[in-house]
Structure formats: structure tokens, C-alpha cells
Amino acid sequence: MIYDLCIHVGNRINDVEFFLKVKKEFEKYNLNIQLFTEEPIQYFDLLDSEHIVVLPLKAEKNYSVAENIQYLSSLGISNFRSLYFTEQKKKQYSEKKSIEITNQKINNCRSLYKNVDTAKYYLTFASDELIVNVFRVFAKQNNGKILYSRYSVMPERIFISKSRDFILPKQQINFTEEDKKWANDYIENYTQKKTILWANPEDRNPKISQLFSNYFLKIFNVNKIIKLFANKRWRIAFFSLKVHTTRLINKYLSNFLYSKNCKNQFIYFPLHFPIDSQLTNRALPFLNQSCVVETVSYYLPFQYTLLVKEHPLARGYSQYLDLKHIANLPNVKLVHPYKNSHDLIKKAKAIVVINSSVGYEALMYKKPVITLGKSFYRGHDLTIDIESLYHLKDAFDRVENFTVDKSRFIDFVCKIKANTFDIKFSDISENNEKIISDFVYNLSCYFKNIN
């Protein structure tokens, strides 16, 4: 049997149950759906396990790293390290351990070859976690076409495309007055509310008592420690303790680096979450953000200060020494990550971004935006795009006379809406029937367009 679509569903039971209902809803459109997960779940026996592909925990045959590199090259994946690089950054694995884990996953994936039914298309998340990359291998070895999905810059709207990047068509589109009114209302509402795009950072700043009850009691849970020692996994407990303790120390020490105010004219530079695939996959040349900030500061016009702010959800993830290096630069101020970006954007002369969504927000305020990385708003005649840090001087020269065309930006917002789907995945745990029907309807429409 050849399925129309194989969906990577993760390994949480709520997600699996959601996508099982999605699979059933697809039957109304005469589409056969297969599901893929990386870990066996006890509930599978009670559900529709016939159409679920489970990545084996153990490979039928173990190939060497060299053999798997050759195998991946035959599938069009030439960089073995790219499979695990983001995962390595997140979990702080050693190079040896990262290679070992990745090689085992590829061996497990190869065990599925010719043992399962294939699909025409394979849908996964537009991220760079190891299991996502293993799913890509699974799709390629079955000669399937890969589709990606994730939230767009508009909350509760997702995009589906053949690329992991959110790429909008550059050709001009004639939108209706109704479309333009919607976009204008959206911009006004967004700027008035000063929306925090992804989450409330205060939720990630628990009190000491909460840290103790939620974290340390789990770490020192007697039964857990006994099980870890019994299974010779004691290193995991100590490693976890080390990582979390380091983040707490980074978070505490960084408080002494923040400037309370900046009276000078400034240009705003928002930092990325240091282990986000926005950096590790989509902006590798700018991975060391402290060095990028230092370079930008060298080209900064003398009358400006460079205002730098951590990602609000990244407190503790950024290394203290990196932040200290930034804070000690003579024409740079490091401000508290909980300062609302909207307030900084309004006061800034310009914004320099790698590929941050702050650049998109800055366009709402008609501020000049200098883009370094592969942002989705780059290349639409809305921003000052540079190909190299050598071009920063020219970019800063252009800032003085650069203006954002409001009508062009409104068309750009309309284009985002036209290329995304309105699906409130935040309610996925409720298995809301409307969410399921909307998701399936939109995806079936997408299929009609690509087939």
C-alpha cells in the first residue's frame, strides 16, 4: 500500500491521539494517512497501530559511521554533523556521544527500509532536532517528498511548505481592499497590545521555592536515583544537575551586567535563543552572537549606542562570559531581557537583526531594519539586506534616509496571511474537533495545489 501522506507526530500521547483523529478525518477526502513516531507508546495496542510506523529501539544491523555517511550521501545528505548539531548544542553532548547517538538512530531508521509501506509525501516539523532529521532520512530512503510545517510569525497560523524556511513569494499580488483593511487592523492591534510573540517570559522566571519544589526534589527523588544507579545511568542525573545549575548561575550573574537606561540615541540588536534552530540551522555564520555584536559595534556610527537584549526565554542559556564581553564593549549597553521589545523599537533609530522576529515587529513601526541572516522578510524591498559583515558601514549609511513603505508592508502582511493556515494548535490537548477539521481541510487544499 502507498499512503498519500506520512505525518511525524512526536511521541506524546496527546499528539498521537490528535493525529489519529486527523487520520480518520482525512478519509473524508479519500486520503490515506500513515503516522510516524520515534518511541513505542503503550497506548498503541489500544489505538489504530496498523497505520503507525515506530522507529525501532534497536537496529536489525549496525553499520559503522563511515558506512552510514556513504549511505546518507546516496540520499543527498552530505553533512553527517548537520543531523545532530542542534541537538548537541541543546543537550551539551560531546562530539563522540553525538556521533554515537546519531549513528544508532540512522541504523534504526535503516531497519525500516522495505519493511514498511511508503508514502508520497512526508510531513514533519520545520525544526532541526535529531529525530526530525532522522524522519527526513526515513522519507528520503522511501523516495518520498518532504513537507515542513511550523508556526509562522503570526501566532496561531502555521505554514506548510517544501522548505524548512518560511519563504514567501516575491512577486507582487493584487489584494482586495478587505484584505488590506484586515492587515492594517492587525498591525494596529498588534502594536497597541505590544504582543510578546512566542510566550510570556515571566512564566520562565520561577521563585526559588518553585525551583526547589519543581526541580531539586525531582533530581533528588530517592526512587529515581535508585533506578538510575540500577540501570547504570547515574551520569544522566549528575549531568542534568550540572546543566540546570549552570543555567541558574548564568541567570543570577547576568543581573549585574544589565544597564538600567540608555539616554543616547541607540540602534537595537536583539539576541537569539542560543540553542534555537533559527541560529544553529538558519544562521550558522552568526552562531557566535557575542562576536557578531562586537563586529557590529566596530562599524557603529559614533553618535549611536548599540542596545543589546537577550531573548526573554533564553535567560541562563547564554553564557555569562559572552554577556560580560558584550556589556564591556565601549559603545554597547546590555539591557534586561524582560524589557518589552516594542518600547525599544519605538525609540531606536534602527534595528540590526540576524533573522529575529523583532525585525518583523520593527517594520510595523516603519523602522529601518538591517538583516544579516535568512529572515522571511528579507528580499522584499522592506529591509536593508547585507550579504557580509563587511557591508555594515554601507548599511549604516543607508539608515539615515531609509523609509519603510507602509502600503508595501501591508501587502506583505496580506501575503503572510494568504500563505498560512489559521490553526490554533495551542488547544491541541483538548483534541478540539474544529481544530482537527480545519487542519485536515487546509492540508487537503494544499495537497490539491501541489498534486
Length of the chain: 451
Start-to-end C-alpha separation, the chain: 19
**Alpha-carbon distance 240 to 209, whole Å?**
19
**Alpha-carbon distance 56 to 39, whole Å?**
7
- β-partners of residue 145 are 121
Tens digit of pLDDT for each residue in 319-346? 899 999 999 999 999 999 988 899 999 9
Task: With beta carbons less than 8 A apart as the criterion, state whether 259 and 299 touch.
Answer: no
**Alpha-carbon distance 34 to 20, whole Å?**
9
Q: Which pLDDT belongs to residue 110?
A: 95
Residue 288, helix vs strand vs coil: coil
Burial of 417 (0-12, 13-18, 19+ CB in 10 A): middle
User: Helices (DSSP H) in 111-172: which residue ranges?
Assistant: 130-141
**Res 214 pLDDT > 60:** no
Q: Which pLDDT belongs to residue 21?
A: 84
Task: With beta carbons less than 8 A apart as the criterion, state whether 39 and 46 touch.
Answer: no
pLDDT range class, residue 216, cuts 50, 70, 90 = very low
Task: Give the start-to-end residue ranges of the domains of the chain.
Answer: 3-171+421-450, 201-254, 266-415
Q: Which pLDDT belongs to residue 451?
A: 67
pLDDT range class, residue 213, cuts 50, 70, 90 = very low
Give the range with max mean pLDDT: 7-21, 227-241, 351-365: 351-365
CATH class for the region spanning 266-415 = alpha beta
